Structure formats: structure tokens, C-alpha cells
Structure 1
Amino acid sequence: MTISAGHPGVLSAHPAVLAAEGGKHSAHVTHWGDRIGWIIGLLLFVALVYWLMRQGWQWRRTLQSDVPALPQAPQDPGPELLAAEGRYFGTTTAGQWLDRIVAHGLGTRSRVDAVLTEQGLDLRRTAAPGFFVPAAALRGARPDKAIAGKVLPEGGLLVVTWQHGGRLLDTGLRFDDPAEHRRWTDELNRLSPGRADRPGTPSDLSGTPAGTPAGGPAAAPASPAGQHHDKEGAR
């Protein structure tokens, strides 16, 4: 402390002390205008992304307007062959796992109760209307790992191929117990008419039946007459 020369007896603080005390009471100035601007910009960006996604969905639905209404299960579908619970991941054009079909709610992921009878496959969805695949429309089934942008471990999906109108479709399911996929694959393939890959003649990735040499079927042995001509030509 020091005594002020202009006012005897009045104590005044040292300049260094005053500076320290002033630093304690200074507060950081919040630029609320900048923060509000950033928040509004972020919200506008999210809204734009959502709008673009919705427009893309509507565009797909317009392109797929030729997809007929989905068949519904008959009143008496017959006794159950198999039943399972799981998830419905979507439907695509057959062989094109990213070409999602969105018409009639086929693009909506949902929980599903799947029931298989001799008449076909009944898919009862919770987040979208269910539909029925008649046995005559089945074209086979296989374990797979990707459908409609969803990728899982190898064999984590059951993909059912079926005919609907003029389109060949793939529908992806994953049961709560993935071990069930093999049994469902066998039964669906048994019910599928006109399958190119019948049980007993499995195909590898190249489409060549198993057991067939990579270069094609083995050449038939030459006949004795053909061997005789070959020898004559060699002379």
C-alpha cells in the first residue's frame, strides 16, 4: 500500500496489485451471433441432405412405377414348413445388390416374421406392409453377405430370388438365428421351379458346374479310325 500525495492519509493500492485484481474480474466475451450463425448453417445443411435423399427416393419410386402391387397371403396357406423371426433388409434387382427397389414399401427395413409353406413365403413386416411370394414365383435362395447397401459377414444373409411382374428380384433376410439360413435355403430351393442350380449340381463362382475342369468338359477319347488318320498324317 502507498499513501496518496494529493490526499494525505488516503491509502491507494500499488499499480501491480490493481492490474492483478482487474485480471481476476475480466470475463470472456461470448460471440453469440457467430454461434447462432453456425447452428443455423448446420441445420440448413442437414435439411438439404434430407431433402436430397427424399428426392432420390421419390425418383426411384417414379422409375419403378411399373412394379405391380405385392401379392398377399391366401386365406389358407397350408401347414407351416418353417418359421423364423429376424430382419428384412430390403429388395433389389436380382444380382445388383445396390439397385434398391422402393415401390410398395419394399425399400423399408423392418423386423419380420417369415413363414414358409408349400404355397409360398409369407413375410409379415412390422414397419411396412407384409407380402407373399407364391411358390410359383420363387427362383431360388442362397446364403450371401450384402443386400440394398447392407454388408454383413459371409453367409449372414438369406437372399431369396423371386419373379414379380417383369422383374427378377432379390430379397435379403437375416434371422435371429443365422444357423437357420441353410435349412431355409434348402427348402426354398426345393420349392423353386425351374432353378438353374439344382441341388446336386452346385456351381462355382464362374458358373461352371462343380467337378468340371476349368477348361471345359474333358475331350472324348479319339476313335481308332481317328488315331489311324493321325498316324498317316504324321508320316
Structure 2
Amino acid sequence: MTPLTPLAAEPRSAEVTDWTARLGWVGLLLLFVVLAYWLMRQGWKWRASLQSALPELPTAPEDPGGTILSLAGRYHGSTAAGQWLERIVARGLGTRSRAELTLTDAGLEVARPGAADFFVPADRLRGARLDTGIAGKVLTEGGLLVVTWVHGGQLIDSGFRSDRAAEHPAWVTAINSLSTENTTTEGAAR
């Protein structure tokens, strides 16, 4: 019979961390993250080059007329009308930002600190509605004010969210009545 040796009799140390392998894996992970970011940026640039035919955005006139409504909130982006995932990034329309909207007799002025301001003339407004989402942003029912307008022969939906969502229905009514007036006036002039 062989004598039993207690397990504690053999000195044993903890496993040693293989720092070379660990640093290698961390380096590979960082490389993967940088590559993914670079590919996303290239995709954004590619989309902008595809949309480069979009003309420059109009600026507000010197005398925009009387103010109908104003709103402070966020601009969430623009898409091809009716295609809420087809984001438009050309001319700065893909840049999310704070926004101050002013609806006047002349049109819709969008002032965006840190991003390019733009103006939608009243004769280019095609309507407004409440919606739940636009590319990259999904909200509760009626949480997004979507304004449809024409620019460069293309129908565009632009999404806004007021700091006070209770203002949205008044905006829909005002923009729809302004766009209807302009459509009626346009039709009578022909």
C-alpha cells in the first residue's frame, strides 16, 4: 500500500497571466473598433456624394414677413419623403442639432446652432404631419413633427421635436394651411 500524501504538501502557485496574449487581444479589439468607425464614416461620405446633385439650401430673406409660430427643440434629420430610413446627408441635412423653427408668411426658417441654417420658402412647403420616427430616431405616437417640402425637384421629409410636444398639432395645422394657400394661389396663377 502506498502512503497517501496530503495535497497541501505540493506547493502550488496561482496561474500566471500571459500579458502578451492579453495585450494582443486588446490590440485586435481596438483595431476592429477603429475599422468599424472608419467604414461607417466612408459610408456617410459615399451617401453624401450620391446626393451631391441636391442644390444649395436657400437662406432666409431679409424680410420674412409676420411670424406665425415659433418653436425650440431638436432637428432629427431629413429623409426622402415617404421613406423614413433613406437619410439625406448632403448639404448638412443629416446633422442632428438643436433647432429654432420660425414659421412666417414667407416660409419656414430653421436656425441650427453648430450646423447650417436653412429656409424653406412657403411655395415649397407640401405639408406636415405627426409621426413616430425618422431615420435614426423613433419616438412615441405623435412625438415627431415631420415637415414635407420640395428642394431640387425632390420631396423631403424633415423631422423636428419640440421641447413642448403639445405644440406639434398647432404646427401641423399652420403648415398645412400655409401649403394649401400656396398651392391654391399657384393653381390660380396658371
TM-score normalised by the chain length of structure 2: 0.88
Structure-1 residue corresponding to 2:183 = 194
Structure-2 residue corresponding to 1:163 = 150
What are the residue-to-residue correspondences of 1:110-189 with 2, within 5 Å?
A: 110-189=97-176
The answer for unaligned runs of 5 or more in structure 1 is: 1-14, 196-235
Contact 2:123-2:183 at 8 Å conserved across structures: no
Structure-2 residue corresponding to 1:83 = 70
Displacement of 1:74 after TM fit? 1.2
Distance 1:129 1:19 in 2: 75
> CA-to-partner distance for each residue in 1:53-86, whole Å, 9 max, x for gaps?
1111111111111100011111221232111111
> CA-to-partner distance for each residue in 1:155-194, whole Å, 9 max, x for gaps?
0100000000111100000101111000000000111133
TM-score normalised by the chain length of structure 1: 0.71
Structure-1 residue corresponding to 2:188 = none
Give the secondary structure class of the aligned counterpart of 1:121: strand
Moved over 4 A (4+): 15-18
Structure-1 residue corresponding to 2:45 = 58
Contact 1:102-1:108 at 8 Å conserved across structures: yes
Give the secondary structure class of the aligned counterpart of 1:73: coil
Task: Name the one with the larger helix percent.
Answer: 2
Bigger radius of gyration among the two: 1
Amino acid of the structure 1 residue aligned with 2:76 = F
Displacement of 1:16 after TM fit? 5.9
Distance 1:110 1:35 in 2: 40
- 1:19 maps to 2:9: yes
Amino acid of the structure 2 residue aligned with 1:153 = T
Displacement of 1:38 after TM fit? 1.2
> CA-to-partner distance for each residue in 1:23-70, whole Å, 9 max, x for gaps?
5xx344111111111111111111111111111111111111110001
The answer for unaligned runs of 5 or more in structure 2 is: 185-190
| Higher RCO, Cα 8 Å, sep 6+ | 2
Structure-1 residue corresponding to 2:82 = 95
Task: Name the one with the larger strand percent.
Answer: 2
